[in-house]
Structure formats: structure tokens, C-alpha cells
């Protein structure tokens, strides 16, 4: 993966920035640093300031695994154009069917995992998140969760940090969510920045030439063509994006 801010790649970034581009960001681990208690995740003040300015120059969306309302309260006042929650599902027409599926799973999982102290089932309405960070035997807890969810049938499992997410198999993923947002906001291209397994669904669409994918993190292999070494570099990318639009003379309309 090439570093997106390396001088050699400046031209590519500029071409995208000067096109009719949509910016998409994951939340945790991308805009907000990973914290040990997910409920404490927040935008650092510097990122908040920069993102507010970026959102004045570009249409911006955030696509997160969190529920939409959860992300919305963390981004209040920033001015992003859309927030998409539940790994790309929310909002989505036809969500009632997914809601019913999730409603069916929940009591089954509660029963199967009742013996496990410390496992918390978070109901995000269109998906479930099974947290095992508070379990003493995390490896065994994770194995128990995987056994329990496999018995549900046609599901998609997404592994997170000390959490196993369970989604309806055919629900839209982040890549589909981004494509739909492109249509809705009438954009031609997209720059998408993310660090998760689910962000790979976006990066997988890169060969169309319409997407510039930026994977955040140095460890994992990714389908993205570009990377930032870590979440701490996201501010640099935001600054570069602001500079590129300032240079081509578009004025910041202000907050």
C-alpha cells in the first residue's frame, strides 16, 4: 500500500479532490481514536475542527458499525451530510425485515449465552453486537459466541475489537451504502477512509477508478491502494484535503 500523503501520490489525491468527489469516513479507529470503553469514543477537538472545515468544502458522509443515532450524537455540530449506521444498513428501505430477524435472534442468543458472565448483547435494531471485553476468559467467550451465532442460520459475522457483530446475510454493506450515497448526493467519485474489516467492502470496489480507498493502520493487509499509518495521521489527510480545495480557489463558505 502506498502512503496517501507521500509526495509521489500528491497528484492522485489532487485529481480526486478537484473532482466532484464525496468523502466517506469510518468513525471508530478513523475519525476517533480507539478507546478501551467504546462508549467513550469521541472526536479529538482538532479533528472536530478540521472535519467541520472539510465538510464546508466537500460533501462528507460517515459510515459506521454503530447505530446511526449513536454516531449522530458524537458528530453533533460537525456538519457532515449523512450518517449511515449499522455497517451500511441504516437508513435503508426494507429494514423491517432485518429488524424482525434481529428480534428473533436476540432471545435465542440470550438463552444460549446465559451461562457466560460478562458477555453483553447490544441491540442496534438492525444488527447485534456481542461484546466480550468484560469476560475474564475472553478466548473461550469468543468461541462460545461464535458457536451460538452459527446456529442462527443465514447470518453475516463481522469481527471487531472484543466484539462479534451479527447481521442479516443479505443486508447492504458499506460498499453498497457508499454507492447509494454517491447517487443521492450526485457525486462522481469518492475518497473513503477506514480501518475495519467492513471497510474492505468499500475498498473492493476500487478498480472502477471512481474510488480512492485509504486504509488506516500499518498491520493488516487491505484491498485499499493507499494507507495512513494510523489514526493519528487522519488530521494530516483532512488538512491536505482542505489545502487542495483552497488552492483551487473554492472559498470556505463558513460554518
Contacting residue, 4, 22, 25, 29, with Mg ion by CB under 5 A? 29
- Nearest approach in angstroms of CB 84 to Mg ion is 13
Give the active site residue among 26, 28, 199, 201.
Answer: 26
Count the Cβ atoms, other than its own, within 10 Å of residue 46: 12
Of 101 and 195, nearer to Mg ion (C-beta) is 195
Q: Is 213 left (phi over 0), alpha (psi -120 to 50) or beta?
A: beta
Which part of the chain contacts Mg ion (CB under 5 A), choosing from 15-23, 55-63, 88-96, 188-196?
188-196
CB 54 within 8 A of CB 35: no
- Nearest approach in angstroms of CB 30 to Mg ion is 5
Of 28 and 70, nearer to Mg ion (C-beta) is 28
CB 53 within 8 A of CB 240: no
d(CA 29, CA 163): 14
- 101 is a site residue for Mg ion (CB under 5 A): no
Contacting residue, 5, 23, 28, 41, with Mg ion by CB under 5 A? 28
- 200 is a site residue for Mg ion (CB under 5 A): no
- Nearest approach in angstroms of CB 100 to Mg ion is 28
CA of 231: how far to CAs of 43, 49, 77, 236, 240, in Å? 11, 16, 22, 10, 15
Contacting residue, 82, 90, 101, 196, with Mg ion by CB under 5 A? 196
Query: Which residue of the chain is nearest Mg ion when measured via CB?
Result: 29
Q: 37 by DSSP, 3-state: which? A: coil
CB 163 within 8 A of CB 151: no
Contacting residue, 26, 70, 201, 206, with Mg ion by CB under 5 A? 26
d(CA 16, CA 11): 9
Of 109 and 237, nearer to Mg ion (C-beta) is 237
CB 88 within 8 A of CB 100: no
- 195 is a site residue for Mg ion (CB under 5 A): yes
170 flagged as catalytic:
no
Which are the catalytic amino acids?
26
Q: Which residues bind Mg ion (CB under 5 A)?
A: 26, 28-29, 195-196
Amino acid at each position: 500500500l502506498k502512503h496517501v500523503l507521500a509526495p509521489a501520490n500528491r497528484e492522485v489525491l489532487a485529481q480526486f479532490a478537484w473532482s466532484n468527489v464525496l468523502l466517506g469516513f469510518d468513525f471508530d479507529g478513523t475519525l476517533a481514536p480507539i478507546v478501551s470503553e467504546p462508549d467513550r469514543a469521541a472526536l479529538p477537538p482538532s479533528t472536530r475542527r478540521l472535519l467541520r472545515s472539510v465538510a464546508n468544502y466537500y460533501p462528507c458522509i460517515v459510515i459506521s458499525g454503530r447505530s446511526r443515532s449513536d454516531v449522530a450524537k458524537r458528530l453533533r455540530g460537525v456538519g457532515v451530510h449523512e450518517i449511515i449506521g449499522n455497517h451500511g444498513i441504516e437508513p435503508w428501505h426494507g429494514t423491517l425485515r432485518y429488524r424482525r430477524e434481529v428480534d428473533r435472534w436476540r432471545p435465542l442468543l440470550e438463552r444460549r449465552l446465559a451461562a457466560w458472565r460478562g458477555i453483553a448483547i447490544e441491540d442496534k435494531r438492525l444488527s447485534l453486537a456481542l461484546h466480550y471485553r468484560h469476560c475474564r476468559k475472553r478466548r473461550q467467550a469468543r468461541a462460545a459466541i461464535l458457536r451460538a451465532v452459527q446456529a442462527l442460520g443465514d447470518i453475516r459475522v463481522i469481527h471487531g475489537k472484543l466484539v462479534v457483530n451479527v447481521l442479516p446475510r443479505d443486508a447492504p454493506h458499506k460498499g453498497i451504502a457508499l454507492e447509494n450515497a454517491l447517487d443521492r448526493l450526485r457525486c462522481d467519485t469518492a475518497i473513503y477512509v477506514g480501518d475495519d474489516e467492513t471497510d474492505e467492502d468499500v475498498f473492493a470496489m476500487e478498480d472502477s477508478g471512481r474510488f480512492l480507498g485509504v486504509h488506516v493502520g500499518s498491520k493488516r493487509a487491505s484491498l485499499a491502494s493507499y494507507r495512513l499509518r494510523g489514526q493519528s495521521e487522519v488530521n494530516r489527510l483532512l488538512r491536505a484535503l482542505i489545502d487542495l480545495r483552497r488552492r483551487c480557489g473554492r472559498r470556505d463558505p463558513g460554518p
